[in-house]
Structure 1
Amino acid sequence: MEAKMLDGRVAIITGASYGMGQTMAELFSEEGASVVLTARGKEKLDAVVEGIQEKGGKAIGIVADVCSKEDTEAVFQKTLETFGDVDILINNAGIGEQKMIDETEDDWMLHVMNTNLGGPMRYIREALKIFMPKNEGVIINISSVNGTRPFCGATYTSTKGALNTLTKNVAMRLVNTNIRCNAVAPGATITPAHITNKAGEQPGGAKMLEYSGHYVYFPGPECDPMDQAYACLYLASKMGRAVRGQVLQVCNGAFL
């Protein structure tokens, strides 16, 4: 039998009930990992978990909000109770938006910041309680090309730039350990959130795009969620063992 790249590993993936998170969970399961999926909605989450289990994979779903410290702690506790360990963390959950700075109210700003930046910080903090004692683990933050080319909403782009910085900061903290922290920065990727954004239906509509050099997809085609999942697999497996503190942009060359 061909060896799988993540045999025996346990991975927590936030925001995994659809889109990129779902694809990451399915791929990691196929590569031998036990996967823990989190999301705020139970129905879609359960459907993804059942699909993985039907294919022989080991998976559980936990309804949780990354903004909640209590939910975050419960995710790790349930993971340890079910699978006995945690080896990989993928911070995928996030909110997309297109609100211009002059339309951004405090409540919205704080909500997006708490989700897109506070969530990863909570999960990393909790993961390190497990990773540090055993001196092993992988952290992958899902950022965006907006982290360096900020054409979407003011708060969204700011959180992705901050997430890139956090990735490097955590990697520096862990430089003398066997724990790696990196990020994947997707470009235009065909997911429900991306389709909503193209249609101008995200919070803020499409007005911001008029000020951002006319956001277009070229020269490469839009990415598939599997393209992002493959990048995560590279970073999570032994192939990425010497990669630390990097933001791997996956965009088909559309945002060079």
Structure 2
Amino acid sequence: MEKQMLKGKVALITGASYGMGQTMAELFAEEGAAVALTARGRETLDSVVEGIREKGGRAIGVTADVCSKEDTRRVFEETVKAFGTLDILINNAGIGEQKMIDETEDDWMLYVMNTNLGGPMRYIKEALKIFLPKNDGVIINISSVNGARPFCGATYTSTKGALNTLTKNVAMRLVDTNIRCNAVAPGATVTPAHLANKKGEQPGGAKMLEYSGHYVYFPGPECDPMDQAYACLYLASKMGRHVKGQVLQVCNGAFL
């Protein structure tokens, strides 16, 4: 049996009931990590946890909303209760949307910002309560190519640009520690959210794609969720031990 790259580690992954989050959780469990998964939907979350356990992995699921401070504290409490500590945080939960700026209402803007940026900030703050005392830990934020090339909804793209900045800011704060913070910026990846976007089914529909659609559809193959999971594995394992404050773009060259 090949050596597991994350043996003995504990990882917390938000938004892990489907798509990239699910794939990350399954890969990390295969690589030896105990995984704590969060999502808002209990049924789908339980299904992923059960699938990991059936393959011999260690996993728990905690139903939670990243917008809730109370839920956030509970997620960390249950993770530590189940596994004793935390070593890796992946901020994957987020909302995709295509609302143009002139269609963006305040309530929607604040909701997306609270989820896509507020959520990672809350989770990083809680994780550091564990990471700083032991001077060790990994933080991975799931951003987007939209963080640098903002072709989707006005609020979504703004939060991803801010998440890239937050990644570097946190890395600067932790530069003299053994805690590293990086981001993965997926391009077009075959997930339910991406497929809905291509059909114009995300909030805001397809109107924004009339202006930016040529950025979205690249003639080469789209990425698979595993491509993003592999990037996270690199950053979470000893392979990425000296990588700090970077945004690793995984897009098959579609957004160079």
Where do residues 142-157 of structure 1 align in structure 2 (5 Å cutoff)? 142-157=142-157
Note if contact 1:143-1:160 (Cα within 8 Å) is conserved in structure 2: yes
Does residue 127 of structure 1 match 2:142? no
Residue of structure 2 equivalent to 1:255: 255
Flag structure 1 segments of 5+ consecutive residues without an equivalent.
none
Question: Distance in 2 between the 1:158 and 1:134 partners?
Answer: 34
What amino acid maps onto 1:2 in structure 2?
A: E
Name the SS for the 2:208 alignment partner: helix
Tell me how far 1:214 sits from its aligned partner. Answer: 2.8
Tell me how far 1:211 sits from its aligned partner. Answer: 1.8
Name the SS for the 1:201 alignment partner: coil
Note if contact 1:219-1:253 (Cα within 8 Å) is conserved in structure 2: no
Query: Which runs of 4 or more aligned residues in structure 1 lie more than 6 Å from their structure 2 counterparts after TM superposition?
Result: none
Aligned identity (percent) is: 86
Tell me how far 1:213 sits from its aligned partner. Answer: 6.0
Question: Distance in 2 between the 1:3 and 1:136 partners?
Answer: 22
Residue of structure 1 equivalent to 2:114: 114
Q: Per-residue displacement from partner, 1:7-56 (whole Å, max 9, x unpaired)?
A: 00000000000000000000000000000000000000000000000000
Question: Distance in 2 between the 1:178 and 1:154 partners?
Answer: 35
What amino acid maps onto 1:254 in structure 2?
A: A
Residue of structure 2 equivalent to 1:66: 66
Residue of structure 1 equivalent to 2:202: 202
Question: Distance in 2 between the 1:154 and 1:172 partners?
Answer: 27
Note if contact 1:150-1:157 (Cα within 8 Å) is conserved in structure 2: yes
Residue of structure 1 equivalent to 2:30: 30
Does residue 177 of structure 1 match 2:177? yes
Where do residues 205-220 of structure 1 align in structure 2 (5 Å cutoff)? 205-212=205-212, 214-220=214-220
Question: Distance in 2 between the 1:96 and 1:216 partners?
Answer: 14
Flag structure 2 segments of 5+ consecutive residues without an equivalent.
none
Question: Distance in 2 between the 1:85 and 1:107 partners?
Answer: 36
Alignment size in residue pairs: 256
Question: Distance in 1 between the 2:174 and 2:214 partners?
Answer: 39
Residue of structure 2 equivalent to 1:227: 227
Question: Distance in 2 between the 1:91 and 1:56 partners?
Answer: 25
* Cα-Cα RMSD: 0.8
Q: Per-residue displacement from partner, 1:214-255 (whole Å, max 9, x unpaired)?
A: 334225310000000000000000000010000000000001
